[in-house]
Structure 1
Amino acid sequence: MKNPIFILLFLLSFSISAQQRFIDESFQLKETETKTYATKNGEALKLDIYQPENDTMQQRPLIVFMHGGGFAGGTRTNPGEINFAESAAKKGYVAVQISYRLTRKGQSFGCDYEASGKMETFKMAAEDFMDAVNFMVKNKEEFNINPAKIIVGGSSAGAEAVLNAVYNEKLMLEDFSKYQNFDFAGVFSLAGAIVDARYITEENAIPGVFFHGTEDNLVPYASAPHHWCDRDQPGYIMLDGSKTITEKLKKLNTSYLLYSFEGGKHEHSGMPFEHLPKVFQFFNSVFLNGESKQIEVWK
């Protein structure tokens, strides 16, 4: 009769080897680290770093996520964002949740706020986001990060900042040269939009995962005014949402996964936990391994 301890160790070893990095939650979590990535106008901008425990991989993919809140509220410690980061770290990613300047705190970001101010808000948030990514890359050896495998994401206002930084960088960033020491492998957007999809080219057409309600009343699903403002209102500015972005990616033969929620409104800016297994599978196959996929899912 075989030694029962030997059998137990064999089964445990088989179980661990059967788990797939970046798909299954194979790791425990290290203690979360909080760092200041920049100080602007006297405000310390912080980020939280989630990592797998006892991971020997030296070049790990990085996920950087930016919370929503209309550039007026929200926090990097939202339960949904924390759960997402913890799940990613357990799969083997280095996951980061960032804070940024809430330039519209206590103020409107609706139709009564002029379009030029909205553009400046987008620019400042995009800059904060890029500075956070830059901070992590500068510390890549400390956190064992692969600067060629960076996935970036955001929800609502955070998604607007991230998408504009990725696809409209020439509109958003005055000095893009200081951000050229890393590459974006993919983008993850929850109810986001950009200023102008025409600026998506072969050079910056990064694969993406997009979630959006078709009747979003704040951020347009296709192309429409921000907050559905009337043309004669100060805050009238056209934005291109998930549908328009993915149409452009399709023309450029770039991979994407689009979840469209028929009749859904802005609630789809929340973390889609039900669909995250499919999201992480797409991350792994497309963002990390370069497979080509164009998928549209209707709910």
Structure 2
Amino acid sequence: MIKRQILIFSALLVMQNVIAQSQPGKRYKDIVFNDILLEKDLSYNSQASKDQKKSYLFDLYQPKGDDASSRPLIIWMHGGGFKFGSKTAKGVKLWSQTFARRGYVCASINYRLSKANPLFHFDDLLKGSFYATQDAKLAVAYFRTNAAKYHIDPDKIILGGNSAGGFIALNAAYSKNEDFGRLANIADDEIKSSGVPHRPIYAVINYWGSIYDLGWLSNAKTPIISVHGSEDGLVPITHKNSSLYGSLDIHNKADALHIPNTLKVYKGYSHELQKHFNPFFEGSKAQSRWLEAAQFTADYLYGIMK
């Protein structure tokens, strides 16, 4: 009798597991696709000069087997202090893959990198950030124009990135071209000639980035998802002892302006969610935190879309 009860109980557990595994997850929130389609080295700027063509390449990630005709797009931008990095950086590859498996289309883009020294000179940082932001806006315009080609919803284009990529996402959504250009000491003629028309952004994913002027948050109501380490010494979470306004400053200002936003703080962690920041080796534990940040982001975006 006891053996029979054990057998029945075991069978019920197996059935529950089978049922749970067979139930579909929630698109855009959960992993619902087993595989992705990846197209490499496409371009979002057909007018780029020969010397700059590499700066305008992107890799496109799509869920394999997806028949949806209108999907949200996340444009991912890598970190590297506006001096280093590319669309194949580990972070943006990881997030592009996991969000594509949730049903998003993801484009990991290159952008122009600074030829000066933005890591040590604030003026160079501003200029590098300004030009990179123009490239992000150009990418948004490209995907709006080609929405049908890539089966994306032109009204659901999200900008996201880590470190420098977070800067770009925030600045592209919230800064006015003239204000940013003048702050970066760009000549007025160049501001006018290089300016890309502003297009509304559906949401911003800011992973340990910052904004140069909190007043710019008054320019839009774009939802912001921020993730930051409390001990980030490279891009501090607050303005204290820094020329940058980090994620905590952004969160508080956004709350005051009634901008939809959320913030996840990793207490005790530094840049890139590492215990001790190392730009050459992030480690598997940091990558697991990147995946946690992705799920946190997916949950919030799902709530917006729902």
What is the TM-score normalised by the length of structure 2?
Answer: 0.77
Q: CA deviation at 1:178?
A: 4.8
SS in 1 for 2:36: coil
AA aligned to 1:18 is P
Give, in whole Å, the separation in 2 of the partners of 1:16 and 1:143.
Answer: 29
Are residue 61 (structure 1) and residue 72 (structure 2) matched? yes
Q: CA deviation at 1:210?
A: 0.8
Q: Equivalent residue for 1:279?
A: 297
Equivalent of 2:201 in 180, 184, 193: 184
Are residue 212 (structure 1) and residue 228 (structure 2) matched? yes
AA aligned to 1:86 is Q
Unaligned 5+ residue runs, structure 2?
1-16, 182-190, 275-285
**Bigger helix fraction:** 2
Q: Equivalent residue for 2:214?
A: 197
Give, in whole Å, the separation in 2 of the partners of 1:29 and 1:110.
Answer: 35
Q: Equivalent residue for 1:221?
A: 237
Are residue 123 (structure 1) and residue 139 (structure 2) matched? no
Give, in whole Å, the separation in 2 of the partners of 1:214 and 1:17.
Answer: 38
Equivalent of 2:106 in 67, 70, 95: 95
Work out whether residues 168 and 194 of structure 1, in 8 Å CA contact, stay in contact via their aligned partners in 2.
Answer: no
Q: Equivalent residue for 1:72?
A: 83
Q: CA deviation at 1:158?
A: 1.6
**Bigger strand fraction:** 1
SS in 2 for 1:80: helix
Give, in whole Å, the separation in 2 of the partners of 1:144 and 1:86.
Answer: 17
Give, in whole Å, the separation in 2 of the partners of 1:40 and 1:164.
Answer: 25
Work out whether residues 129 and 161 of structure 1, in 8 Å CA contact, stay in contact via their aligned partners in 2.
Answer: yes
SS in 1 for 2:127: helix
* Alignment of structure 1 residues 1-299 onto 2, 5 Å: 18-27=24-33, 28-38=35-45, 39=48, 42-44=51-53, 45-104=56-115, 107-111=116-120, 113=121, 115-170=122-177, 171-172=179-180, 174=191, 178-180=196-198, 182-201=199-218, 203-224=219-240, 228=242, 238-268=243-273, 272-286=290-304, 288-289=305-306
1:128-184 Cα deviation digits (max 9, x unpaired): 11112221221111111111111111111121122112122342364698545x531
1:54-90 Cα deviation digits (max 9, x unpaired): 2221111000010000111112112332121111111
Give, in whole Å, the separation in 1 of the partners of 2:25 and 2:78.
Answer: 30
Work out whether residues 78 and 91 of structure 2, in 8 Å CA contact, stay in contact via their aligned partners in 1.
Answer: no
Rate the CA distance shift 1:178–1:110 in 2: closer, same or farther, 3 A.
closer
Work out whether residues 117 and 124 of structure 2, in 8 Å CA contact, stay in contact via their aligned partners in 1.
Answer: no
Give, in whole Å, the separation in 2 of the partners of 1:14 and 1:266.
Answer: 37
What is the TM-score normalised by the length of structure 1?
Answer: 0.78
Higher mean displacement: 242-251 or 163-172: 163-172
